Structure 1
C-alpha cells in the first residue's frame, strides 16, 4: 500500500479536522477555511464538501489546503501527526515532465513501454482537467439539490487520478510500471471522454 492509500485508510477528514482544532457540529459541519464562512457549511466525514464554495476532497487535500502543502507533504504530515508508519523511499523525479507531453508516440503496431507511459500521463492530465472543471461547474448550489452525474464522477475519480499522476511523474520505476499496467486499457476510453466533453 502506498503513502496516499495508507494515510486515507487510517485518517478521515473529520479526525484530521478535530486534531487540528476545528469545532464540529452535531451534523458534522465546520466553518469552511477556504472562504469567509459565518455559519458552518463544510461537511466533514471520510471526505469533505463545502456547500458554500463547492470545495471538496479527501483528508490529504484538506491538510494540503489547510497548511499550504503539496499533496505528498500533506500525506507525510498526516502520517507523522497520526503515527502511521510509512516506509520512506527516495523518489527519482522526471527531469522534464513537459518533454513527455510534447513527445509524439511512434506509429508502430506494438507500443513500447515508453509510448504506453506517455499516453497514460497525457490521458491522466487531460482527465484531471476535465474532472476539476466538472467539480466546479456541476457542484450543487444547496444541500437539497440533486447531484449531477458529472459532479459525482469528479468527486469519485479526481483524487485517484491525482494520485496516479503523482506516481507516474514522481514515483519509482516499479510504481510507474504498476500504474501504467492498471490504466493502459482505459486510456482510449478516457481520451474519448475528454475529447467529447472538453
Structure 2
C-alpha cells in the first residue's frame, strides 16, 4: 500500500480526494491536515510514502512546506497553475504537480509514479512554465514585493528585511521596472499571476 498524507485547507475537497483515493486498491490515505504548519508533525507521526500538498493554505503555504520536507516524495495538487509555482516546486524537490481539475485516475497515477521515484508534471502546466520564462526579480525584490502584497508599508518592509526604507524603495522601484508595471499594485498583480510571489 502507498501511504498518503493529504494537506488542503478546503475540507470538502480534501475529503472528496481522500474518498476517491480510498477506492484505489493500492493507495491508503493515512492522514489529513487543513493547515501547512501541521504537515511536518503529521509526517513524523504517520510516515507517509507520498505527501500531497495544496499550495494556498493557512499557517504555511504548500511551497514552503515542500521546502521543509527534503527527501520526501511530495506532489503538489493545486488550482493555481502559475509558472513560477511550478519552478519553485521543482527547485524544492517536488516530484509531481497536478491541477485540481485532474481526474482521480490521473491523481492516482501521479501518486504511483512519484512513489516509484519518478516525476509527474501536468503537460499544460509544464508548457506554461517553459513559455513564461524565469522570474526577473532578485530574491530581495521578490521579498519586498511579497510583503507589499500583504499590505506592509515601506517602513514595515524595511523592518522585516532589516534594510533602510530607501533601499526598500529602490527594490520596489526595480521590481516595478522589471515587470513593466505602472505602479506597485500592477507589479504585485503581475508577479502573483506568474507565481513569482
TM-score (norm 2): 0.27
Relative to total residues, which structure has the larger strand share, 1 or 2?
2
Relative to total residues, which structure has the larger helix share, 1 or 2?
1
TM-score (norm 1): 0.27
